[in-house]
């Protein structure tokens, strides 16, 4: 503004009007004296001074005193050019202070250096500004104001708290400082985009937002953005909310929900939700298992689709009732699977907003158990009834038995009296006779009235009494319940008799010992018989011994003279043989052969008697081997003969080997002997197995015999042929018979004259069927 350059009058006029009528206070002051040189009406109005008063004041007078120093400094530094400054305060005449914005120009006024000032009252504006700041500060959210270049211009206390920075650490810094590195790039783009379309928006719903704390940690945030237009252009105010707690709560909620979901999924009860059309919305594992369908088969389908016919069940009608009436239902349901199988379920149906919730529990096993229990209970009842019946019957039977017992007692009394062969004596516990039957009376001689009340030791011999036998007998009966004894007892007439006695303890109905029952039997006759038998057998033994010594003597003493005769006859014959004629020689021969035969007879007789007496030493005897030995023993002598041996398979038997061998030797040597006139002798030895025995045979094709005499074959010294025909003493077959009979077997023979003979004998098998051939 160069007022000097205008036409002095006209311009002056024009400016005067502009100056005077301007609604904004204006003045001109002297730069040296700071005196007001001119002041307009607006200033008069604003500051309360009259124009005259104003012109008497200096610039200092409208300033607060503390400002004056700054004012003076400022004036000195001011250049002549245009200047804008704010932050100044003026005092009005009434003392109120206003905030002002000053625009000034240096001018020449009436030849002096002066300054033209426009003072704009910004008190109101400043208050609004302050209020804005207060609002920001008071916000419970963190508030960050950022200018167009992304520089933070304003923050509040909450921001300090949230991000951990001091206010001065953030103001003037790029917003980047609060963005976690991983989001920085994205944030740049977002920032650019936002400024293209600056409208208020909540950016939290789109994505998760995070801020960077001073300590480097990330903070989950919710952010609202608002564009603000300031003098210097567009700024953005961000309202930031820490949602850490909310996040945590949310996570917890999610976790809890998951847990419930998992629990439901895995619980043993079936859990299903159906919509109002009975379409499966949710189904847990157990429910699917209960239905024997996969989740895929069920979800999205209706119940009637999946289980056709289910609409006719009681369960279905309850289900629809539950949904219609909104009342929970609990029921036990036997569910029939499409295959016809059945299971029991406990169902709990509950209306829920989606439709219906069904909880199911498989109770098939419980049902079964219940059923079994019921059956068992029924059985038990039946059993109890049966038992009761049985008991009734038993009690009837018991009554009958009691009746019978009474009868029995009567019968017993009768028996007691009637038994004649046995003496029955009832004793009290000390051995005194309480009762005595007729048998005892008959046996011992005392009448009942003579004996009752006397001690039973009266029946014992003096010797037994010395040994205190009666007392011992009762003691033994007490300890054992029963005693059996044999011994001599005394009759009334003093005679001894041999008794067998049994003493039994008697008990009353309470089980206490009430006495004894003694039953005696006269065994004298038996005893005598046994004694006789013993005598006989000892006599027999003696006889046997005698026989033994007899045969011993025979063998020595009978043979000795024979030997002498034979010896001396031979010696004699030798001495005189040159003088003997044929006849004499024949006589000598007769003597010699007779003596020899006598010797043979004696030997055979002795061996026969030995066979009868010798003890059997039984062992397993292999007849195969035994026959082989016999043939070996016998064939040396007959080696020049033509003999055909036919030996079958023979068994093992139980017997005395030497004796059996003797028997076999005798039979085989017989066969050899009686076939000696045959050109071809055939001797066959064999056996046949019967159930309990073996039948052996020795068969020859020799002289045979007449069956008429078959009984004589086995007699001692019995012969069917003359000595000159076949030598022998007639003791061989008798020995065979003896041996076989001593083994429990039998001998027999078959034959025909000139067509041979077969000798049989039987021997028991060791066990039935034992020792197969």
Partner 1 sequence: METFKRILLAEDDERDVELTLSALEECKLANEVIVVNDGEQALDFLYCRGKFMNRPNGNPAVILLDIKMPKVTGLEVLRQIKSDENLKIIPTVILTSSREEKDLIEGYELGVNSYVVKPVDFEEFIRAVKELGLFWAIINEPPPFTAKRN
Least separation in angstroms between residue 552's CB and partner 1 is: 6
To the nearest 10°, report the CA torsion of 565, 571, 575, 579.
Answer: 50
Q: How far is the CB of 589 from partner 1 (least distance, A)?
A: 12
Stretch that binds partner 1, among 17-25, 351-359, 421-429, 603-611 (CB under 8 A): 603-611
Is residue 609 within the footprint of partner 1 (CB under 8 A)? no
Q: Out of 568, 590, 709, 755, which residue is the one contacting partner 1 (CB under 8 A)?
A: 568
Select the residue interacting with partner 1 from 491, 559, 618, 746 (CB under 8 A): 559
Q: How many Cβ atoms sit within 10 Å of the Cβ of residue 527?
A: 16
Is there binding between residue 556 and partner 1 (CB under 8 A)? yes
Does 547 interact with partner 1 (rule: CB under 8 A)? no
Pick 551 or 666: Cβ nearer partner 1: 551
CB 88 within 8 A of CB 64: no
Contact 651, 771 (CB under 8 A): yes
Among 97, 598, 682, 716, binds partner 1 (CB under 8 A): 598
Give 451: exposed, middle or buried? Use CB within 10 Å, 0-12, 13-18, 19+: buried
**773 in Cβ contact with 661 (< 8 Å):** no
In this structure, what DSSP letter does residue 163 have?
H
Q: Does 570 bind partner 1 (CB under 8 A)?
A: yes
Nearer to partner 1, 42 or 659 (CB): 659
Segment (H or E) for 547: helix 524-553
In the bound state with partner 1, the residue whose beta carbon lies nearer, of 304 and 609, is 609
Nearer to partner 1, 173 or 597 (CB): 597
Nearer to partner 1, 395 or 553 (CB): 553
Of 485 and 601, CB closest to partner 1: 601
**Stretch touching partner 1 by CB under 8 A, among 374-382, 445-453, 601-609, 758-766:** 601-609
Q: Which range touches partner 1 (CB under 8 A), out of 25-33, 124-132, 162-170, 551-559? A: 551-559
Query: What backbone phi and psi angles, to 5 degrees, belong to 723?
Result: -60, -35
Shortest Å distance, C-beta 687 to partner 1: 30
Alpha carbon distances (Å) from 338 to 104, 128, 293, 341, 672: 102, 81, 11, 7, 98
In whole angstroms, how far apart are CA 563 and each of 536, 560, 607, 755? 39, 5, 19, 41
Rounded to an integer, what distance in angstroms lies between the CA atom of residue 320 and that of residue 278? 9
- Measured in residues, the chain has a length of 773
Answer for which of 207, 255, 596, 644 binds partner 1 (CB under 8 A) is: 596
Mark the segment that binds partner 1 (CB under 8 A) among 25-33, 187-195, 289-297, 561-569.
Answer: 561-569
Give yes or no for residue 555 binding partner 1 (CB under 8 A): yes
Contact between 591 and partner 1 by CB under 8 A: the answer reads no
Examine residue 545 and tell whether it contacts partner 1 (CB under 8 A): no
Those residues whose C-beta lies under 8 Å from the C-beta of residue 103, and which sit 6 or more positions away, are 82, 83, 84, 117, 118, 120
> Nearer to partner 1 by C-beta: 252 or 586?
586
Q: Does 595 bind partner 1 (CB under 8 A)?
A: yes
Looking at 519, 566, 630, 671, which residue binds partner 1 (CB under 8 A)?
A: 566
* Nearest residue (CB) to partner 1, 391 versus 616: 616
Residue 562 lies near partner 1 (rule: CB under 8 A) = yes
- Smaller CB separation from partner 1, 573 or 741: 573
Q: Does 552 bind partner 1 (CB under 8 A)?
A: yes
Q: Which of 276, 610, 644, 649 binds partner 1 (CB under 8 A)?
A: 610
Q: Which of 161, 398, 543, 560 binds partner 1 (CB under 8 A)?
A: 560
Q: Any residues with CB less than 8 A from the CB of 69 and at least 6 apart, and which?
A: none
496 lines the binding site for partner 1 (CB under 8 A): no
- Give the span between the Cα atoms of 91 and 63, in whole angstroms: 6
Binding segment for partner 1 (CB under 8 A), chosen from 145-153, 156-164, 356-364, 594-602, is 594-602
Considering the complex, state which of residue 53 and residue 573 has its C-beta at the smaller distance from partner 1.
573
Is residue 563 a contact residue for partner 1 (CB under 8 A)?
A: yes
**Among the residue ranges 83-91, 511-519, 549-557, 682-690, the one whose residues contact partner 1 (CB under 8 A):** 549-557
**Residues β-bridged to residue 688:** 695
Which runs of consecutive H residues, i.e. helices, occur in 614-701? 623-635, 657-674
Q: Which C-beta is closer to partner 1: that of 103 or that of 600?
A: 600
- Among residues 196, 222, 192, which one has the least CA distance to residue 208? 222
Q: Largest Cα–Cα distance in the chain?
A: 239
Cα torsion for 347, 353, 355, 358, to the nearest 10°? -20
In DSSP notation, 142-156 reads EEEEEETTSBEEEE-
Query: Cα(131)–Cα(122) distance, rounded to whole angstroms?
Result: 14
Residue 592 as a binder of partner 1 (CB under 8 A): the answer is yes
C-alpha 605/C-alpha 589 separation (Å) is: 24
Q: Which of 203, 228, 523, 606 binds partner 1 (CB under 8 A)?
A: 606
- 3-state SS string over 420-471? CCEEEEEECCCCEEEEECHHHHHHHCCCHHHHCCCEHHHHECHHHHHCCHHH
CB 433 within 8 A of CB 423: no
Instruction: Name the residues that contact partner 1, by CB under 8 A.
Output: 551-552, 555-556, 559-560, 562-564, 566-568, 570-571, 592, 595-596, 598-599, 603, 606-607, 610, 614
């Amino acid at each position: 503004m160069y007022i000097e350059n205008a036409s002095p009058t006209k311009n002056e006029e024009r400016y005067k009007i502009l100056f005077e009528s301007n609604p904004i206070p204006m003045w001109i002051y002297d730069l040296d004296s700071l005196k007001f040189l001119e002041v307009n009406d607006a200033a008069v109005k604003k500051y309360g001074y009259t124009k005259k008063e104003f012109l008497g004041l200096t610039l200092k007078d409208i300033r607060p005193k503390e400002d004056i120093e700054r004012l003076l400094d400022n004036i000195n530094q001011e250049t002549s050019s245009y200047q804008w400054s704010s932050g100044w305060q003026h005092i009005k005449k009434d003392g109120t202070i206003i905030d002002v914005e000053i625009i000034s120009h240096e001018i020449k006024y009436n030849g002096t250096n002066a300054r033209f000032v426009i003072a704009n009252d910004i008190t109101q504006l400043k208050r609004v500004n302050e209020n804005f700041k207060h609002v920001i500060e008071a916000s419970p959210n963190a508030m960050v104001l950022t200018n167009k270049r992304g520089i933070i211009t304003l923050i509040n206390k909450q921001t300090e708290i949230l991000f951990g920075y001091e206010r001065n650490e953030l103001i003037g810094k790029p917003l980047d400082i609060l963005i976690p590195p991983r989001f920085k790039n994205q944030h740049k783009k977002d920032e650019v985009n936002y400024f293209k379309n600056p409208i208020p928006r909540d950016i939290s719903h789109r994505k998760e937002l995070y801020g960077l704390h001073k300590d480097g940690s990330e903070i989950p945030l919710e952010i609202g953005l608002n564009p603000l237009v300031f003098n210097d252009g567009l700024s953005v105010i961000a309202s930031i909310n820490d949602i850490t707690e909310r996040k945590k709560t949310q996570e917890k909620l999610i976790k809890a929900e998951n847990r419930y979901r998992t629990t439901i999924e895995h619980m043993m009860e079936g859990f299903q939700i159906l919509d109002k059309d009975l379409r499966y919305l949710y189904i847990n594992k157990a429910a699917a298992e209960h239905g024997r369908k996969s989740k895929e088969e069920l979800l999205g389908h209706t119940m009637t689709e999946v289980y056709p016919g289910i609409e006719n069940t009681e369960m279905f009608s309850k289900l629809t009732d539950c949904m219609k009436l909104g009342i929970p239902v609990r029921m036990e349901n036997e569910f029939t699977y499409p295959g016809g199988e059945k299971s029991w379920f406990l169902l709990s149906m509950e209306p829920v907003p989606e439709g219906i919730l069904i909880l199911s529990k498989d109770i098939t096993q419980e049902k079964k158990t219940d059923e079994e229990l019921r059956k068992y209970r029924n059985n038990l009842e039946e059993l109890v009834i049966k038992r009761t019946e049985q008991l009734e019957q038993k009690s009837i039977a018991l009554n009958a038995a009691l009746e019978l017992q009474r009868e029995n007692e009567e019968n017993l009394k009768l028996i007691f009296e009637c038994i004649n062969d046995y003496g029955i004596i009832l004793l009290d516990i000390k051995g005194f006779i309480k009762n005595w039957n007729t048998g005892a009376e008959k046996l011992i001689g005392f009448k009942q009235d003579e004996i009752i009340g006397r001690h039973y030791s009266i029946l014992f011999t003096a010797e037994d009494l010395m040994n205190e036998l009666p007392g011992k007998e009762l003691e033994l009966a007490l300890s054992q319940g029963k005693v059996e004894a044999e011994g001599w007892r005394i009759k009334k007439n003093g005679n001894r008799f041999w008794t067998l006695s049994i003493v039994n303890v008697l008990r009353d109905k309470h089980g206490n010992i009430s006495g004894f029952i003694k039953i005696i039997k006269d065994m004298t006759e038996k005893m005598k018989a046994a004694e006789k038998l013993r005598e006989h057998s000892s006599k027999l033994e003696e006889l046997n011994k005698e026989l033994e010594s007899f045969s011993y003597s025979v063998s020595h003493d009978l043979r000795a003279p024979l030997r002498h005769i034979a010896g001396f006859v031979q010696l004699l014959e030798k001495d005189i043989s040159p003088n003997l004629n044929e006849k004499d020689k024949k006589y000598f021969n007769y003597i010699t052969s007779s003596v020899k035969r006598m010797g043979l007879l004696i030997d055979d007789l002795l061996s026969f008697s030995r066979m009868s007496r010798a003890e059997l030493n039984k062992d397993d005897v292999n007849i195969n081997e035994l026959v082989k030995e016999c043939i070996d023993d016998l064939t040396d002598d007959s080696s020049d003969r033509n003999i055909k041996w036919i030996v079958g398979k023979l068994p093992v038997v139980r017997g005395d080997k030497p004796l059996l061998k003797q028997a076999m030797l005798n039979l085989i040597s017989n066969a050899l002997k009686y076939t000696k006139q045959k050109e071809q002798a055939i001797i066959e030895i064999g056996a046949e197995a019967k159930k309990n025995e073996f039948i052996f045979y020795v068969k020859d094709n020799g002289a045979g015999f007449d069956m008429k005499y078959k009984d004589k074959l086995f007699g001692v010294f019995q012969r069917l042929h003359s000595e000159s025909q076949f030598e022998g003493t007639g003791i061989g077959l008798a020995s065979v018979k003896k041996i076989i009979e001593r083994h429990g077997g039998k001998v027999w023979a078959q034959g025909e004259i000139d067509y041979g003979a077969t000798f049989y004998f039987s021997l028991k098998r060791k066990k039935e069927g034992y020792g197969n051939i």
